[in-house]
Structure 1
Amino acid sequence: MAAAARAAHLLVDGTPSLFADTLAQAFLEERAEELLGYHHSYGAHPILAGARTTAVTRSRYVEDRLTVLAGRGVDQYVILGAGLDSFAYRSPLAERVRVFEVDQPATQEWKRALLTRTGARVPSSTVFVPVDFERESAWSLAGHLVRAGFDTDSPALVSWLGVTMYLTREAIGQTLGAVSTFAPGTELVVEHLLPDGLRDDIGQAYAEHVMAAAAEQGEPWQTFLSTEQMASLLRAHGLQPVESVRQHEALAPAEWERADALRPFTLSVLARASVPAR
């Protein structure tokens, strides 16, 4: 669904685009017509427009942050729950950083077959790191990364988008604790959802609709965190909060002056944190 939202943004919304995932449509394969058809037919619907807004703003923010850090010499990028993320296969920046895609083994097998079918070039700097979090502790993350070539003495950017709402607070904390063992200067961008009462009307409607759909598909949303709660959780697991970015803050104000249906709403937050000096 996230890939469909990114693909639909280039087909449904006006210019300038907020984020250009030029491979997302190809990655949808035989489901492209079905999934993109919803956006073509009902693109102005608040739920579909909200899905596109969320997908493109969070990806844009993270990749903009990677550009800044790469300019400072950071050359490792860890994508937790990589799914159909296409950064490594479309961005020139992927030639300058080592990309570690972390996901469930079965998901990675499916994606690697998809990359072959679609003819996407997999750069030598991209590494697949299968981690079965259902059977292993999140603390094993660092070990899997090291075996894949990750340098624990060098800082990295860690992206964790669209995942925490499906996990318990304990499971989130375990992964945060694993990231805190990375080199000082490492940054984490983690997305979390605000609890009821801290959302605006559009965010509340979006949450009620999508939360119900997720539950029906066997993936219920479990955890909602205020910005203060997320900051406390980060500190409790050895990370230093840097900023909390809502959708309207993820882009320059002028970029939200649009004629299409994309509007920022209050539900998802991007928390940026760093590994402090020891």
Structure 2
Amino acid sequence: MDQGPSQTAMMAAAGRAAHLVVDHEPYLFQDTVAATLLGERAAELIAYHREYGDHPVLSGTRAQVNARSHYTEARLSAGFTQYVILGAGLDTFAYRSPLARQVSVYEVDHPATQRWKCELLAAAGIDTTTAHFVGVDFEHDNLASELTARGFDPTRPALVSWLGVSMYLTAPAITATLAILATFAPGTELIMEYALPPELRDEYGAAYAEFALPATAERGEPWLTFFTPATLTTILTGHGFTVAEHISQRDSVPPTLWHRTDPLHPADLCRLTRAVLHQPHTAGTRSAGSGGGDTP
């Protein structure tokens, strides 16, 4: 963020906005605020999808960001009253979902990212009273303390989403953040997106990675960490989580949503894991890394 707004956060928001313009029904997900939030950049970014929408990176981004949002937000129906969005980037849940007035929403990201987002929200005239902004410099700040200072109740379970982030972090940064999440209340549920190593990717996932990974590295946001489902399960178990499922992009939305006539198709490059915290652990005072946030 020292070099400007996260490009990957913008690409993720553009992918959600473009899905409603470029692709056909049935929609994987309907983010009706992303284009407004992007402001003057929206037309330019969506235009790329209009012109090159069948390119593996653009179609792959639209499939990825919309499928993962569909799955994650659907979990709020399980009755959570607190929703923590790690690496929130340009996530728009708090500004479009009726549930945002029934759930306490905590957007966690680097302070510079949040300043940029707040500028976009103000320019778009979007009401921000449904979100709590938790600016965290993970090299110096304690996530749990910063959340509590903004009203988060550590005695009540929360849904924690961690999408489009882990692949940009080192393994130690990921485990340090999990150590903090492990101190949350039992019943807390984590939905974490992670990238697969090359040998587990399918044809579409490999094609997406061939283009996307060099592009993000050139922008200064390289993918650093990859997990097999078994390896990630071991790490999560060690922090007091029980893995409920690992879910592919294909299975993250109802099957009928993949019956399409446009270029969207599921790719097995990134998966989601849903894990439930049963026994809180004692963590240190520091965590590490939220990454670019809400990224493709």
- TM-score normalized with structure 2 length: 0.89
Tell me how far 1:277 sits from its aligned partner.
Answer: 4.2
Identity, % of aligned positions: 52
Structure 2 residue 114 is matched with structure 1 residue 104: no
Query: Equivalents in 2 of 1:31, 1:45: separation in Å?
Result: 20
Rounded Cα–Cα distance in structure 2 between residues aligned with 1:37 and 1:4: 10
Deviations 1:102-148 (A, max 9, x none): 0000111111121111011123x421000012x226xx111111111
Which amino acid is 1:227 matched to?
A: P
Residue identity in the other structure for 1:76: Q
Shift in Å at residue 33 of structure 1?
Answer: 2.1
Distance 1:248 1:204 in 2: 15
- Matched residue, 2:286: none
Match of 1:200 among 202, 209, 225: 202
What secondary structure, in the 3-state scheme, does the structure 1 residue paired with 2:29 have? coil
Match of 1:62 among 58, 66, 72: 72
Bigger RCO of structures 1 and 2 (CA < 8 A, at least 6 apart): 2
Q: Does 1:225 align with 2:230?
A: no
Among candidates 169, 172, 181, match of residue 170 of structure 1: 172
User: Partners of 2:42 and 2:279 in 1: how far apart?
Assistant: 46
Unaligned runs of 5+ in 2: 1-10, 281-296
Alpha-carbon RMSD: 1.1
Counterpart of 2:133? 128
1:1-278 map, 5 Å = 1-66=11-76, 68-70=77-79, 74-123=80-129, 125-133=130-138, 135-136=139-140, 140-277=142-279
The code of the aligned residue for 1:48 comes to L
Please state whether the residue corresponding to 1:129 is helix, strand or coil.
strand
Task: Tell me how far apart the structure 2 counterparts of residues 16 and 212 of structure 1 sit (CA, whole Å).
Answer: 31
State the one-letter code of the partner of 2:99.
L
Whole-angstrom CA distance in 1 between matches of 2:122 and 2:229: 41
Task: After TM superposition, give the deviation of residue 208 of structure 1 in Å.
Answer: 1.9
On the 8 A contact 1:53/1:264 being kept in 2, the answer is yes
The runs of at least 4 consecutive aligned structure 1 residues that moved more than 2 Å come to: none
Structure 1 length normalisation: TM-score?
0.95
